C-alpha cells in the first residue's frame, strides 16, 4: 500500500496529506463509504457538523478496527454556533456524535462576516477548545487574507490550517503564499471542482501524457504544490483511483499546464458574502 506523506502543522501535529471527504454523502451511505476509504488505506477523514454524518463517520472508524490514534479526523463548527458558549457546546456535541473523546482538527467552517457574532469571538472559543486538549489542532475554513490578519492582530493561537476551495480553475496562489508565510497549512476543498475540471482538454492531455486519469493528475497537482486534499467519492473504484497518487510525478511542464487553467472561478460561495445559517 502506498505511503501517504505527512504534513507537519505549526504546532507539531502531523496530518496525512491525502484524506477522504464526506460532504454530500447521505448519512445512510457514510458508514460504508468511510469503511471503504479506510480499507483502501486513507487515514484522514474530513467531516463537519453541517454534513449531518458525524455519527456514521465515528461508527466507521470504530468498526474498521483501526486504532483511533491512527486516523486523523477533522470536523467543523457549524454556522449557527459562532457565539462563544454556543461554539463550546457545539464542539462537545460533535464529540458526542462522533463518539470520540478528542478531535484531531476542529475548524471554523465559515467566517460569516455579516452576522452579529464577530468571527474573532468565535476564534477565542476555538482557542479555549485547543487549550483544553480536546482538539489536537484548530484552524479555519474559507478565510481570506483579511480575515486571517484580524485573527493575528486580536488573538493568540495561530490557526494550524486554512481549508479553502481550490482546484485548477481557482488556484488561489496569493492565499496559499500568505498561508505559507504565516505557517498555516492550506487544505484544498473540492479539489477536482466536483468533477468539473475532469473534461478540460489541458487536463485530459496531461493525463494522456502520464498514463493516468484526469482525477489522478489533478489530485497529484495539488500534492506536488504541497497542499492537503480530501476528494469525496461514494464509488469504490474512484476511492481507489484517488488514493493512487504516490507512484508517479508530474513534470514542471505538466504542472504549468494545469496551473495555467486558473480563471479565479468558484464553484461554491464567496466567503465575503456567504452568511448562511442552516434552519
Ligand X SMILES: NC(=O)c1ccc[n+]([C@@H]2O[C@H](COP(=O)([O-])OP(=O)(O)OC[C@H]3O[C@@H](n4cnc5c(N)ncnc54)[C@H](OP(=O)(O)O)[C@@H]3O)[C@@H](O)[C@H]2O)c1
Catalytic site positions: 51
Q: Using CA atoms, how far apart are residues 82 and 198, in angstroms rounded to an integer?
A: 36
Contacts to ligand X by CB under 6 A = 21-24, 46, 109, 141-142, 163, 189-195, 198, 215, 230-235, 238, 241-242, 268
Q: How far is CA 159 from CA 72, 141, 147, 203, in A?
A: 17, 10, 12, 33
**What's the CA gap between 58 and 214, in Å, rounded?**
31
**Closest distance to ligand X from the beta carbon of 8 (Å):** 21
Radius of gyration of the chain (CA): 18
Direct distance between the N- and C-terminal alpha carbons of the chain, in angstroms, rounded to an integer: 43
Q: Smallest gap, in angstroms, from Cβ of residue 176 to ligand X?
A: 16
Q: Which one, 46 or 104, has the nearer CB to ligand X?
A: 46
For 72, half-sphere exposure in the C-beta direction (CA atoms, 13 angstrom radius) is 26
Question: What strands lie across the sheet with 185-189, from one edge to the other?
Answer: 20-21, 44-46, 72-77, 103-108, 135-141, 161-165, 185-189, 228-229
Using the minimum distance from each CB to ligand X, give the nearer residue, 37 or 129. 37
Compare residues 100 and 242 and give the one whose CB is closer to ligand X. Answer: 242
Q: Give min distance, CB of 64 to ligand X, in A.
A: 18
Q: Which residue of the chain is nearest ligand X when measured via CB?
A: 21
CB of 191 to ligand X, least distance (A): 5
* Nearer CB in complex with ligand X: 42/100: 42
Amino acid at each position: 500500500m502506498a505511503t501517504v506523506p505527512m504534513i507537519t502543522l505549526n504546532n507539531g501535529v502531523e496530518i496525512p496529506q491525502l484524506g477522504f471527504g464526506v460532504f454530500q454523502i447521505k448519512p445512510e451511505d457514510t458508514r460504508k463509504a468511510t469503511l471503504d476509504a479506510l480499507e483502501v488505506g486513507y487515514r484522514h477523514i474530513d467531516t463537519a457538523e453541517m454534513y449531518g454524518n458525524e455519527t456514521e463517520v465515528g461508527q466507521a472508524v470504530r468498526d474498521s478496527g483501526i486504532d483511533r490514534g491512527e486516523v486523523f479526523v477533522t470536523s467543523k463548527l457549524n454556522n449557527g454556533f459562532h457565539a462563544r458558549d454556543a461554539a463550546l457546546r457545539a464542539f462537545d456535541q460533535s464529540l458526542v456524535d462522533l463518539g470520540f473523546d478528542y478531535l484531531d482538527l476542529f475548524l471554523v467552517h465559515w467566517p460569516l462576516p455579516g452576522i452579529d457574532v464577530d468571527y474573532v469571538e468565535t476564534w477565542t472559543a476555538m482557542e479555549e477548545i485547543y487549550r483544553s486538549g480536546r482538539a489536537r489542532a484548530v484552524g479555519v475554513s474559507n478565510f481570506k487574507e483579511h480575515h486571517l490578519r484580524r485573527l493575528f492582530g486580536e488573538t493568540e493561537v495561530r490557526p494550524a490550517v486554512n481549508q479553502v476551495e481550490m482546484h485548477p480553475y481557482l488556484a488561489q496562489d496569493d492565499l496559499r503564499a500568505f498561508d505559507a508565510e504565516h505557517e498555516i497549512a492550506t487544505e484544498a476543498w473540492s479539489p477536482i471542482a466536483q468533477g468539473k475540471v475532469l473534461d478540460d482538454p489541458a487536463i485530459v492531455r496531461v493525463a494522456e501524457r502520464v498514463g493516468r486519469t484526469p482525477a489522478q493528475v489533478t489530485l497529484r497537482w495539488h500534492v506536488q504544490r504541497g497542499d492537503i486534499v480530501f476528494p469525496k467519492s461514494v464509488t469504490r473504484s474512484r476511492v481507489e483511483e484517488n488514493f493512487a497518487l504516490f507512484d508517479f510525478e508530474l513534470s514542471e511542464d505538466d504542472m504549468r499546464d494545469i496551473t495555467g487553467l486558473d480563471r479565479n472561478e468558484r464553484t461554491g460561495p464567496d466567503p465575503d458574502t456567504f452568511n448562511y445559517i442552516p434552519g
